[in-house]
Structure 1
Amino acid sequence: MTEDYFNYELRDVKMDLKRAIYECSQRGLYHSTKLAELNHSLSSVELEPSDIAKCQQPLEIDDEADTYLLAQSYFNLKEYDRCAYFTENCKSPRAKFLNRYSRYLSIEKKKVENRVDSITPPDPTLQAELQNLSVELRCDYSARQLDGFGLYLYSIVLKKLDLLKEACDVLVEATHKESSHWGAWLELTSLITDRAKLNSLTLPNTWIKHFFMAHAYLDLQLNDEALEIYGYLQNKGFKKSTYVQAQIAIAYHNKREVELAISTFSKLQKLDPYRLDNLDTYSNLLYVRELRLELAHLAHHVSQVDKYRVETCCVIGNYYSLRTEHQKAVLYFQRALKLNPQYTSAWTLMGHEYMEMKNTNAAILSYRQAIEVSRRDYRAWYGLGQTYEILKMYFYCLYYYKQAQFLRPNDSRMLIALGETYEKLEKKEDAIKCYYKAFSVGDSELTSTLKLAKKGKVSKKERNKKKTFPTFAVVHSQS
């Protein structure tokens, strides 16, 4: 990485952060929390009083000022319909955004409240309201009347309507118009399916782009690249950032470097003991290591901090799972999904619990819901493969294992599972290729070595006939 990779003055970065935090808070955008964490990590960087004044544009003194302040108070109390009613005829950019954003949040809130169970489709009247909001935003978009925040809102509405290509294009525009709004960058990462698509995006050359690239690499399981960027950002002034440290811990988790991930999360908890973000991932690590005492302490702690957070429900669910109380674990994962039906991890973990309870139908439904929310969740694909393997439906099983292996090409577990399925389908050469690849990427349990040894004995006569050993190749095929 070259020395000019992050050639931005920290003073300018801090000014951008302060301005973005102020603008986001004026519009009720809670993504500014991460920006505040980054800003706090730069507490040693001093600004002049005149610089701070530039970061906060005063509220317009006009006929709408009082209406805006009233609507903002309703928005903060989560009275979204009330907020939308009072800002219906407002023309200023802040008030107009607040009107549309409160309408969007009202629709999403009602979808959750009206849903009988996780499988029931949303109320068609609410879907019609979302379509109407989309039409309204599209008119302003065509007339080029949307600022960076308006473009962000338009993109998330398009995403909800499954217009993903349009949503991606609009989000790229949003990052150019309002480059310091982290929410737009975060939504963009969820629409990137592979490295080629990431590299094809035309993004603004700004300091926050590096945070975005690292986050996107992490989502795409390109963990070494993500760690390289985060390490460099720490050296350039963000060493105290709890967000960066949490991302590094997740990268270690993805790389299956469990001890490093646990120690990083442990240090993070000491720095910010009331931070609940990503603690469900920490609980997964403690679960894998069967550290029952530590997991019990974590579950007790998060329950005292906030009982009604999805992370809290997942941590407690993992605790009950480790105690083999699977019904209680399912109950807490269901609570997490009532709080946030789009929380992928809870769907996947609930699928695991149903598998333990031998309820394959419920497990399949849970894993499928996880994939609906995020097609990049390799654990859900892998879980589906295991479920169909138990049901002896090997062609289905092969498809899902291929998807998991595509997402985690260097994970020996996916390759061994794929190889075993090929064996059951009597495709021995394909199985050998998978085992050899698993061995070459580093199979810590040496399962691939044992499989190759057995295959060597079975296929001895065949090798004598052919006089050559079969060519090994990487299995990257996708059904």
Structure 2
Amino acid sequence: MHETNEDRDKDRECERDSKDVLPKRTEAELWQEAVALQSMADIFRIMARAYGSFSINKYAESITLFKTLPIAHLNSGWVQCQIGKCYSEMADYEEAEKHFLLARTLEPSMHKDMDSYSSCLWHLKKETALSTLAKDLKDADSQSHVAWVALGNAYNLRQDHEQALNCFQRAIQLNDQYAYAHTLSGQEYFALEEHDKAQAEYQLAMTINPRHFHAWYGMGQVYGKMGKNDLSLVYYQEAQKLNPSNGVLLYLVGTIQEKLDRAPDARLSFERAIKINPTNVVARYRLAKVLDEMGFMDEAIEELELIKNLAPNEPKVYMLQGKILDKMGNKEEALKYLTWALDLDTKSSHEIQGLIDKINKGSEEQDLNYDYIMDE
């Protein structure tokens, strides 16, 4: 019997079907596959939640979530970079630098988010490291807006505001929806005292990204410089609401409240700033001044004693303590602290010496009055 064409077609179809049939997997293999898929889903879930928290400025929450990732994923350039960005936005630049450095070590060619690293180095005043980073980024891609921002930050650190502005404007040309470049341009215009242009750049940044707290801070800075403290406070408070984990913003809110004679509010803001960063010497000093103004002189002295442990050679602290002790009637101790302040700060010697002379004169007048009473 001869094989027909139809039979041959059926044979080939059966052969093809037999090849397409997957080998039957064991229950153990199916279980391993399910575990692997679940593990992958968990990792994606953590990353999504962590990045979501970052995008709404919940930086501490974002860090906590990222750190729950398995070590293999935690020690990736991208994750380390995100953690670095979180710490940087919280104004913990030293900790941020550690994570950015690790990210660059893990992935030396990393380019994305290196603008944040450049800003971190700017805050730490590490001019050499910042210049090296900017050069590396520009050499890798001269058409990258990130590279031009890093270069602008390097020029700014050298106080070359014109060149810095040119770099930031070039970044905007390459990506006009880059909110951070608009904000940095605004800061350069502010440094050049072109306040209208600074405000225009900040407004553009806020239009692109309403949650970009840097731009709100910038507007507050401009209005503060113009003496419009009410408006300055509005923008600083909005920046602080957008980034509640940044103690510097709380400190700035407190300084404006102090200028507006809202001492109780200023006290609360400084205390909250210190809670975020207990080593914030400037916030502690301003808190001591507010406490003194409110009549809580003992509490002010306690605060100044804490500052001396953090900054033992800060003349303003000894000077303020001398003033408060004088008001409390402790002339001898006041003179001691003012003398220490004089030794530490020759620039303010005229003012400090004036306070010393005033106390000494007051003591002499008291002695004369006492002698007059005794003679009678």
Q: Does 1:343 align with 2:178?
A: yes
Alpha-carbon distance in structure 2 between the residues aligned to 1:10 and 1:256: 38
CA 1:8–1:271 in 2, change beyond 3 Å: closer, same or farther? farther
TM norm structure 2:
0.65
Q: Report what 2:281 is aligned to.
A: 446
Q: Does 1:241 align with 2:96?
A: no
Opposite residue 63 of structure 2, the aligned amino acid is L
CA 1:351–1:443 in 2, change beyond 3 Å: closer, same or farther? farther
Alpha-carbon distance in structure 1 between the residues aligned to 2:263 and 2:186: 31
CA apart distance, 1:208:
2.7
Q: Report what 1:295 is aligned to.
A: 130
Q: Report what 1:213 is aligned to.
A: 49
Alpha-carbon distance in structure 2 between the residues aligned to 1:310 and 1:253: 20
CA apart distance, 1:305:
0.4
1:147-202 CA-partner distances (Å, limit 9, x unpaired): xxxxxxxxxxxxxxxxxxxxxxxxxxxxxxxxxxxxxxxxxxxxxxxxxxxxxxxx
Alignment of 1:82-93 (within 5 A): none
CA 1:232–1:423 in 2, change beyond 3 Å: closer, same or farther? closer
TM norm structure 1:
0.52
Conserved 8 A contact 1:412-1:443: no
Alignment of 1:7-406 (within 5 A): 9-10=35-36, 208-235=44-71, 237-406=72-241
Opposite residue 263 of structure 1, the aligned amino acid is K
1:214-265 CA-partner distances (Å, limit 9, x unpaired): 0011122322322222122233x42453222221221222233322322222
1:118-171 CA-partner distances (Å, limit 9, x unpaired): xxxxxxxxxxxxxxxxxxxxxxxxxxxxxxxxxxxxxxxxxxxxxxxxxxxxxx
Q: Report what 2:291 is aligned to.
A: 456
Opposite residue 207 of structure 2, the aligned amino acid is E
The 3-state SS of whatever aligns with 2:67 is: helix
Q: Does 1:431 align with 2:266?
A: yes
Q: 1:412 aligns with which of 247, 253, 257?
A: 247
The structure with the largest helix share of the pair is 2
CA 1:231–1:438 in 2, change beyond 3 Å: closer, same or farther? closer
Conserved 8 A contact 1:388-1:396: yes
1:271-290 CA-partner distances (Å, limit 9, x unpaired): 32222101111111111111
CA apart distance, 1:377:
1.4
CA 1:427–1:239 in 2, change beyond 3 Å: closer, same or farther? closer
CA 1:275–1:456 in 2, change beyond 3 Å: closer, same or farther? closer
CA-based RMSD:
2.5
Alpha-carbon distance in structure 2 between the residues aligned to 1:240 and 1:347: 32
Alpha-carbon distance in structure 2 between the residues aligned to 1:332 and 1:461: 50
CA apart distance, 1:419:
1.9
Alpha-carbon distance in structure 2 between the residues aligned to 1:225 and 1:417: 24
Report how many residues are paired: 266
Alpha-carbon distance in structure 1 between the residues aligned to 2:273 and 2:92: 17
Q: Report what 2:352 is aligned to.
A: none
Opposite residue 87 of structure 2, the aligned amino acid is Y
CA 1:411–1:241 in 2, change beyond 3 Å: closer, same or farther? closer
1:347-386 CA-partner distances (Å, limit 9, x unpaired): 1111111111111111111111111111111111111101
Unpaired runs of 5+ residues, structure 2, are 1-32, 299-376
CA 1:461–1:295 in 2, change beyond 3 Å: closer, same or farther? closer
Higher relative contact order (CA 8 A, sep 6+): 1
Alpha-carbon distance in structure 2 between the residues aligned to 1:461 and 1:334: 50
Alpha-carbon distance in structure 2 between the residues aligned to 1:222 and 1:13: 25
Aligned-pair identity in percent equals 27
Opposite residue 432 of structure 1, the aligned amino acid is R
Opposite residue 67 of structure 2, the aligned amino acid is G
Rg larger in structure: 2
CA apart distance, 1:429:
2.3
Alpha-carbon distance in structure 1 between the residues aligned to 2:126 and 2:109: 21
1:33-76 CA-partner distances (Å, limit 9, x unpaired): xxxxxxxxxxxxxxxxxxxxxxxxxxxxxxxxxxxxxxxxxxxx
Greater Cα shift, 449-458 or 373-382 = 449-458
Conserved 8 A contact 2:274-2:280: no
